[in-house]
Amino acid sequence: MTATIIDGQAVASRLRLDVAEAAAGLRARHRFTPGLAAILVGDDPASHIYVRNKRRACADAGLASFEHHLPADTSEAELLNLVDRLGTDERVDGILVQLPLPPQIDPRRIIAGIDPAKDVDGFHPANIGRLWSGERTLIPCTAQGCLILLRTVCHSLAGAEAVVLGRSSIVGKPVAALLLAESCTITIAHSRTADAATVCRRADILVVAVGRPMLVKGDWIKPGAIVIDVGINRLSHNGAGPRLVGDVDTVDAAMIAGAISPVPGGVGPMTIACLLRNTVVAACRRRGISDPEL
Ligand code: GUN
């Protein structure tokens, strides 16, 4: 078997166009532009790249973006103060605090300080609770991206055996909540799982988010399964620039799986597209406008 390769770049481009169209509609009919504020603390190079990409994506979709770059020695109180001010800024519909934060700042206290209505990451405890309760909420972007990609190759997820490898708050747990809401039977496997390969082999749907380069091989996969690879690992590549690989050995896995998302070009592009989507959704809900069809 050779797996269908799920084209995350194409799906993300389509979603970004749809977001741009929704934003243009809001400007024309309701006379406002949805706005996203991103806060970056310190000099983490990867975080700088993410924030720059977010700025460009907002511009392409016709959203307003506001960036706040704070020094690495910013105190928790200073950051909380900024988050608070953005909460009352009418131009701002979404607030994103780029993680990780420097060690003197407790990310949980910062996230808890974000207005849940503007929490476009979906990390606020109130929004996590709503997600697990099956209530309408702002859904964490990478998890939402995984679900959208799954739906491109599988129309009914109900009853499927889903295994999520990885239990992070950013991806593993929210993906599990979304799959449960789709009526999958879910298992969360992680670094302390006794025999992760055996657990993964029973999955009709396997989502891998562990940050271990090419951990999952073909013999971890049930024939015909759908595999979503969330990993982004930079491997140094003799002399040449770093090579990006996922948490799945894609070439090996593609001989067994029914469909697989590649790295790069799978889940990665979906995250920013879903962030733009959440910003427009948050903008509508704050104003009592019905959700755009995105
Ligand atoms: N750092 C890595 N992933 C994320 C994310 O999804 N949101 C935020 N805010 N920071 C991150």
Do 163 and 248 fall within a single domain? yes
What's the domain count of the chain? 2
Segments of 6-120 assigned E as strands: 35-41, 64-70, 94-97
74 lines ligand 1 (CB under 6 A): no
> pLDDT for 178-230, tens place per residue?
999 999 999 999 999 999 999 999 999 999 999 999 999 999 999 999 999 99
170 lines ligand 1 (CB under 6 A): yes
Rounded to whole angstroms, the Cα distance separating 83 from 264 reads 33
- Active site (annotated) includes residue 144: no
> Given a cut of 70, is residue 45 above it in pLDDT?
yes
| CATH (domain of 162) | 3.40.50.720
In a domain, 263, yes or no: yes
Closest CA to 269 of 6, 2, 11: 11
Do 173 and 57 fall within a single domain? no
Rounded mean pLDDT, 137-145: 98
Q: Is 38 helix (H, G, I), strand (E, B) or coil?
A: strand
99 lines ligand 1 (CB under 6 A): yes
In a domain, 87, yes or no: yes
In DSSP notation, 251-291 reads HHHTTT-SEE--SSSSSHHHHHHHHHHHHHHHHHHHTTPPP
Kindly state the percentage of the chain with pLDDT values over 70: 100
Do 147 and 103 fall within a single domain? no
Do 221 and 111 fall within a single domain? no
In a domain, 175, yes or no: yes
* Amino acid present at 155: H
> Given a cut of 70, is residue 1 above it in pLDDT?
no
In a domain, 126, yes or no: no
Residues 235, 236, 240, 241: what is their CA dihedral angle, to the nearest 10 degrees?
Answer: 70
Res 244: pLDDT:
94
pTM exceeds 0.95 for this model? yes
* Atom 1 of ligand 1, residue of closest alpha carbon: 99
> Given ligand 1 and candidates 142, 170, 267, which is best to mutate, with the most ligand atoms within 8 Å of its CB?
170
- Active site (annotated) includes residue 104: no
Q: Is 235 helix (H, G, I), strand (E, B) or coil?
A: strand
Cβ atoms of 284 and 290 closer than 8 Å: yes
- Active site (annotated) includes residue 229: no
The alpha carbon of 98 and the centre of ligand 1 are apart by a number of angstroms equal to: 5
CA 170 to ligand 1: nearest atom: 6
| CATH (domain of 57) | 3.40.50.10860
Do 179 and 264 fall within a single domain? yes
Do 57 and 115 fall within a single domain? yes
Do 151 and 261 fall within a single domain? yes
Domain extent for 253: 141-269
In a domain, 223, yes or no: yes
Do 230 and 162 fall within a single domain? yes
